[in-house]
Amino acid sequence: MDKNLTVIKAGTGILTKVADGTIDRAALVHLVTAIAKLMKRGHRCVFVSSGAVGSGVSAMGLTEYPQDIITRQACAAVGQARLMRIYTSLFANFDISVAQILLTAGDIKGPQRAGYILNTLNRLIVEPRILPIINENDSVAIRELNFGDNDMLSVRVAKLIGANRVILLTSVDGLLDPETNEVIHEVDDIDSVFQHVRSDKGKFSMGGMASKLKAVKFAVEEGIEVHIANGREPHRLSEIVAGKGLSTRFKPQLS
C-alpha cells in the first residue's frame, strides 16, 4: 500500500450550482488549486470527478436530472466533454496535464481488464505533472446509472492502485452527530455509525451519506483510510493529508 497516494472524489453537488445544475466555475477553481498544491508538494493524487450528467443537464436545457436513462446518457456524453475541457484549462495554469479514464463496474471486476487499467494508472501516477481524472462511463453504463455512484468507484480504484487514503468531498464538514449536529471527527467502527445516516441529498446529487458509508465500509475493510470532508472548503485538503484538518476520519481495519 502506497502511503503517498490519495484518491480524491468530488461529487456533483460540489461541482455544480444547486439552483440550476450548471458548472460552478468558482468552486472548480478552488478545488483545482487545492489539488495542484498537493501535487506540487510531492503528493500523488488520483481525482474521481462526478458532474458529467449535471453539466450536461444544463447544456440540454433541462432543470433537473432526467428520469429516463437515455436522456441521462445523452447528458453524460455532452457534460463529460465540457467538464474535461474546464479541467484541462484550469490545471494548465499549474503546469499540470490531465488524463481522462472512464470506467464501468465491469472494468475493474475481472482480473484481465483490471490489470490493463492498473498498468495505465501506474504509468500515469509516476508522472509528477499528470493527474488521472476518473469518472463512471455514464453514457454507456446503464446499470451504473441506476445503482452505482462514484463513492464506490473511488474506493475500488483506491484498492486497485494500492492507495492508502480516500477523501470523499461532500457538501458538509463530515459525518454529523444527529443530536449535537457536530462533526464526528474519528470513527473506529464503521458499523456503529450507520444509525447516523440521514436521507437528505442535493437536488443534483446521485448519492447520499448512506452510499458514502457503504463505500467507506468497503475501504476500511481493505485497510484504506477514508475521510469525508467539505468540498466547498478544498483548502483543507493539505491539512487532511497531513493528519489534521476538519473531516470525519474512518480508521482502516487492516494494518
**151, burial (CB in 10 Å: exposed 0-12, middle 13-18, buried 19+):** buried
189 annotated to bind ligand: no
Give the CA angle between residues 178, 182, 185 to the nearest 5°: 110
Backbone angles phi, psi at 124, to 5 degrees: -70, -40
Assign domain 2-250 to its CATH superfamily.
Acetylglutamate kinase-like (3.40.1160.10)
Block residue for cell numbers 477514508: 226
What average pLDDT score do residues 81-85 get? 93
Q: Quick check: 172 pLDDT over 70? A: yes
pLDDT at residue 147 above 50?
Answer: no
Percent of the chain residues past pLDDT 90, beyond the cut: 56
**If 0-12 CB within 10 Å is exposed, 13-18 middle and 19+ buried, where does residue 203 land?**
middle
- The pLDDT of residue 146 is 41
Mean residue pLDDT of the chain comes to 87
Q: Is 211 annotated as a binding residue?
A: no
Percent of the chain with pLDDT over 70: 88
pTM of the model: 0.91
pLDDT level of residue 3 (50, 70, 90 thresholds): low
- Rounded mean pLDDT, 94-109: 91
**The pLDDT value given to residue 145:** 41
Say which residue, 128 or 197, is predicted with more confidence: 128
91's grid cell: 490545471
Cross-strand partners of 48: 9, 134
Q: Flag whether 150 is marked binding.
A: yes
- Specify the range with the lowest mean pLDDT, choosing from 29-43, 113-127, 226-240, 241-255: 241-255
Instruction: Give the model's pLDDT for residue 36.
Output: 98
Is 181 among the annotated ligand-binding positions? no
Choose between 110 and 133: higher pLDDT: 133
pLDDT of 184 over the 70 cut: yes
Domain ranges of the chain: 2-250
Mean pLDDT to the nearest integer, 96-113? 90
For the ranges 60-69, 164-173, 215-224, 245-254, which has the lowest average pLDDT? 60-69
Q: How confident is the model at residue 142 (pLDDT cuts 50, 70, 90)?
A: low
Pairing of strands 97-103, 186-187: unpaired
Q: Identify the weakest region by mean pLDDT among 93-102, 136-145, 188-197, 242-251.
A: 136-145
Q: In the predicted model, what is the mean pLDDT of residues 214-230?
A: 95
**Residue 167 and residue 25: Cα distance in Å, rounded?**
21
| Cα 121 to chain centroid, rounded | 16
